[in-house]
Amino acid sequence: MIQAYISGTGGYVPPEIVTNDALVRDYGVETSHEWIVQRTGIEARRFAEAGVGTADLAAHAAREALADARLAPHQLDLILFATLSPDYAFPGSGVLLQRALGLTSGPDAKFIPALDLRNQCSGFLYGLATANAWVRSGAAKHVLLVGAETHSAALDFSARGRTVSSLFGDGAGAVIVSATADDRGVRGCYLGADGSEAETLCQRVWDIKQRPFIPLDADGNGKVDPAHLWAHMDGRMVFKHAITRMTEVLGRACDDQRVALADIDLFFFHQANLRINQYLAESLHLPAEKVPHNIERYGNTTAATIPLLLAECARDGRLRRGMKIALTAFGSGFTWGAAILDW
């Protein structure tokens, strides 16, 4: 029977480190290091420079994942790109990544499908479920799954937006999901959604129901109300639902796989807020050493958090072959998911 396993990991963050103090000093955000750390655990994040887009960040992470898997781009059969900050409204960033990897010209051109996923913070897990299905069905042998975000271009650094702008950073994480005959890899993926809370965490920069979809002024220039231009979040509501749904879906995954929490070597939680993850770990009685985190250095990179953390832990030796791991995430939509893997 064909199984799907992660054969390579990669991660990339832009070089500019923006500390909490730099948010105040250089970006004019009316906050403080202490305020941000107390509520989120975040001490710094990375911002891409002007002219660098989401597909650019993804390409760095993808090349690292390919090298780790000892594959060339033309050996891929599918690209899955998870992001809430695509380079354009359309086309999707998947085709831009395909082009950046050299798959659209030259002797190694290969016009493989590229699929974009818009499941925000749960995007990587929705992508993992998709990659797993393609590989196990025999439709693909090697799938590139990337989560990448360039949040810094769309953050409100005024006092009005400080509770959101202090959370997010730029970065990319990538994995190669490959076929194997060995008894290893993705044991199960479990997904969920609740659209009744769709506007609790959203960015309605346009409304396609309106004519035109962006209001125009007297000169025909588009004008977007700040309430729609910037991301909106009811933090308390998100915290409450995140704890509930992540606990539920992780329990469902363990029950379905007949795995006890104590049998899992490492837990990779979406890096949205360190306080959420600490609360979740404490409520499940998980040892701190089993719950790695990097949000204090990178902030919330949305679809990139889990693959970026996987790459980091694989690189420094915390994540080793033969380990049993659990992944779980919650985000806008609301959407959520979990997965159990034998690494």
Instruction: Read off the amino acid at residue 307.
Output: P
Selecting among 20, 294, 300, 313, the annotated active-site residue is 300
| Active-site residue, 285 included | no
CB 71 within 8 A of CB 142: yes
- Diameter over CA atoms, the chain: 65
Where are the extended beta strands (E) located within the chain?
A: 3-12, 16-19, 44-47, 78-82, 114-117, 142-149, 171-180, 185-193, 201-202, 232-233, 266-269, 324-331, 335-342
Judge whether 311 and 317 are in contact, CB under 8 Å.
Answer: no
Q: Is residue 121 annotated as a catalytic residue, yes or no?
A: yes
- Asked if 254 is an active-site residue, the reply is no
> Which of 62, 155, 150, 57 shows the shortest CA–CA distance to 112?
62
- Residues paired with 331 in a beta bridge: 335
Q: How far is CA 271 from CA 135, 218, 297, in A?
A: 27, 44, 11
Catalytic residue among 121, 189, 254, 313: 121
Gap between the Cα atoms of 110 and 306, Å rounded: 28
| Burial of 50: CB neighbours in 10 Å, binned 0-12, 13-18, 19+ | exposed
Candidate list 132, 270, 293, 294, residue with the active-site label: 270
Question: How much is the CA Rg of the chain, to the nearest whole Å?
Answer: 20
Active site members: 121, 270, 300
